[in-house]
Structure 1
Amino acid sequence: MELMTTKKHAALNILIGLTVVLFFAACAGKTHETDSGADSTISVKTETVTTTPITNEITLSGNIEGTTTVKLGFMVPGKINLISSKVGEFVSKGQLIASLEATNYALNKQLADVQMNEVKDEYNRLKLLHGRGSLSESDFSKMNASLQKAQVQQKLEMKNLNDTRLYTPISGVLLSKQAEAGEIIGAGTQLFVVSDIRKVTVLAFVPEGELGGLHIGQEASISITALGKTFAGKITEVGAVADAASRAFTVKIGVDNVGLHIRPGMIAEARISASGQKEGILLSAESIINDSGNQSYVYVTDKAGRKAFKRKVSLGKMSANKIEILSGLSIGESVVVSGQSKLSDGSSITIMK
């Protein structure tokens, strides 16, 4: 009987012990779940959406051109015997750039001179006869016409001889050379390009919707990536007729090229501050995320600041190192500006102060 009582007490003690173990295990599980829940909360920084004055700035991309650019070639055919300048060198107005072998043209000029002298001597002899009445008016008129032809031929051969020497009509930089000494070229072939780049022009196109904010004399900031520099410029021309295909207008901006470092063909970005300002929403670029479909979105917090939700937004222009938000946000909402890369739609958050 005592043995049975002892066994009952032992079984009861084991049961009590198991109950206690299970109780503490359950408590530990709850604690672990609580800790896991705390660990899933993501710390972020937020910013309240407000309006900011935005300067109405127009940004245009364009190409650099010389103020005046000329394409040069010989008026007569021949063999090039001299090219005096190299590409990239500065040439002055009236400077010799190239010349042709002139022997044939010089001989033609001498022949024209001889013919002119012969005709002139004959003219003078017949003029005396005409004055004495020994020569008819008709014969003297024919002689006079022959003299005029000889004079014209002499001038033509002189011009051809002079055209074997090519001079630049402007001061500038030799941009292009399409021939070498020894080559035989035809009349009118374009061989050289000279451009006056002491002042250059940025040629850009502006949409018709932004044309109203531009006028001649307006200042512009010109950035040239190839040089890593920014230059001051002014609008010199605003197109009056739109391009039929793009519906854009041409705009020309003059820039002083001190040191001749800016060269035609370079790409330039022009920033022009149009008149007036507007109010808009600006966010730092880091707070905006683009998905695989190139859709832009931000994370907006709920009123309690405990969760973050994705919100699609439409972007405008860059302004003061921030991006303009055209639609998707309202004034007073709270947007995540730091830590958003770890978030997903509906994530639990903790807002850092």
Structure 2
Amino acid sequence: MFNNTRTDRRIASSVLTLMVGLALSSCGKDEPKQLVQVVPKVSVKEISAIAQQQELIYSGNIEPENTAHIGFAVPGVVNNIHVVEGQRVTKGELLASIDASEYVNALAIANAQLEQAEDMYSRLDGLYKKGSLPEKDYIDIKTKVAQARANKSINAKRIKDSRLYAPITGIISAKMVERGSTAAPGVPAFTIIKTDQVYARISVPESEVGAISNGMSSAVYVPTLEDTIHGNITIINPQADPVSKTYAVKIKLLNPDGKLLPGMLAEAKIQTGKAVNVIAIPAPSVVRDADGLTYVFVTNDQNKAIRRRVTTSNVTGNNEVIISQGLTAGDKVVVAGQTRLKDGSTVTF
């Protein structure tokens, strides 16, 4: 009996010690922390339309004022070339020539035939006036004289045409013949471009072509030259391109020093003189993603930030961006804190 009591006490003591140890162990552990969601704070601006002078901006390229594809008017073998590609030539300058030996000989024969015909005519003319020569023979000799003169003129022109001259002042942009090659009528031998004046050629959509007219001034920026040249609209093609449905517009630019070369990229800005309502927002509020797409965040009535794609058109002097598509007056745009947002994020102001 006594032993059983002592055993029960030992068991109870061990249980108590275990319970105390478990309690102390649980007290030594940290309580699990509650995750607190941080709502980003942003600044929002309700946008409105503002009146601004309409400015149209287009990309284009530089074109020569005139392009001449020239070739020989008579066939022959090219024996001399006096110019190279890229060379500036003046109107009337000799470019190339062909072997004219055949035409020189033909002209000598034509001269002999003309002299013979004229001599015969002078002798028969007196007989005709005396009534001793039938009219039929008199007409025949007059015809032979006329034919001989025409033959002489044709061969003289062929000799002249064997030498090719520049019809305009410009630059040789292409040379399609070599010494020893055969030239043929109608086949271009050289291309000359006139560049003392050039055109900036742009394509204008149908919705905007009505806002521009001949004579309007334009500032044309050429990135290659890092320079802006001012010109005027001189040509508006009345027929739209069948594929793009745009109208070709040309802006004439003076180019006395020849810096503007055909093919250079250009950006034309045209002030139409009309006032239009535009949407302008602070430039920092526009975000660009890795794909180069531009967007902003707008807030709704549930204080959610919604990502919205926008298209920008210009930058004002107040460090604001003109939005051509994506926003309307009354939208609330996030202008500060937008870099921490995701589409659908809850925000506070």
TM-score range, shorter chain: 0.7 to 0.9
Counterpart of 1:315 in structure 2 is 311
**Deviations, residues 102-141 of structure 1 (Å, cap 9, x unaligned):** 1111111111111111111111111122233221222111
Identity among equivalent pairs (%): 27
Q: Deviations over 1:286-329 (max 9, x none)?
A: 6345698x98643234679xx65223345353343725053455
CA contact (8 A) 1:223 1:229 kept: yes
Q: Give the CA RMSD over aligned residues.
A: 3.4
Q: Is the 8 A contact 2:307 2:342 kept in 1?
A: no
Worse-matched range after superposition: 176-185 or 59-68: 59-68
Q: 5+ unaligned residues in a row in structure 1: which ranges? A: none
Note the C-alpha offset of 1:231: 1.7
Is the aligned partner of 1:95 residue 2:93?
yes
Partner of 2:122: 124
Distance in 2 separating the partners of 1:138 and 1:222:
74
For the Cα contact (< 8 Å) 2:296–2:310, is it kept in 1?
no
**67 and 15 in structure 1: CA distance in 2 versus 1, 3 angstrom threshold:** closer
Q: Partners in 1 of 2:78 and 2:285 — Cα distance?
A: 62
Aligned AA for 1:86?
A: V
Change (3 A) 1:159 1:285: farther
Distance across 2 between alignment mates of 1:203 and 1:346: 44
- Return closer, same or farther for 1:290/1:299 CA change in 2, 3 Å cut-off: same
Residue 94 of structure 1 deviates from its aligned partner by 0.9
- Counterpart of 1:278 in structure 2 is 276
**2:184 maps to what in 1?**
186
Mapped contact 2:307–2:343 kept (Cα < 8 A): no
Shift of 1:82: 1.4
Q: Which moved more, 1:200-209 or 1:176-185?
A: 200-209
Contact 2:42 2:336 in 1 (8 A): yes
The amino acid of 1:87's aligned partner reads: E
AA of the residue aligned to 1:81? N
What's the offset of the Cα at 1:9?
8.3
Report what 2:154 is aligned to. Answer: 156
Aligned residue identity for 1:59: I
- The residue type paired with residue 150 of structure 2 is V
> Structure 1 residues 177 and 46 mapped into 2: Cα distance closer, same or farther (>3 Å)?
farther
Deviation at 1:278, TM superposition (A): 2.5
Distance 1:121 1:331 in 2: 100
* Higher relative helix content: 1
Gaps of 5+ in 2: none
TM-score normalised by the chain length of structure 1:
0.82
Alignment partner, residue 173 of structure 1: 171
Amino acid at match of 1:94: G
Decide which of 83, 86, 89 is 2:84's aligned counterpart. Answer: 86
1:282–1:325 CA contact under 8 A, matched in 2: no
| 1:245-302 CA distance string (max 9 Å, x none) | 443222111011131121223332222122223333234376345698x986432346
State the partner residue of 1:287.
286
TM-score (norm 2): 0.83
Instruction: Return the alpha-carbon distance in structure 2 between the equivalents of residues 328 and 218 of structure 1.
Output: 30
1:37 alignment partner, SS class: coil
Match of 1:48 in 2: 45
Distance 2:90 2:63 in 1: 19
Cα distance, 1:188 vs. partner?
1.7
Structure 2 letter corresponding to 1:274: T
Q: Name the structure 1 match of 2:223.
A: 225
Cα distance per residue 1:38-82 (max 9 Å; x no partner): 6x555x764514234444222223332222222111100001111
Q: Is the 8 A contact 2:298 2:331 kept in 1?
A: no
The equivalences for 1:129-148 within 5 A come to: 129-148=127-146
Deviation at 1:11, TM superposition (A): 7.2
Instruction: State how many pairs are aligned.
Output: 337
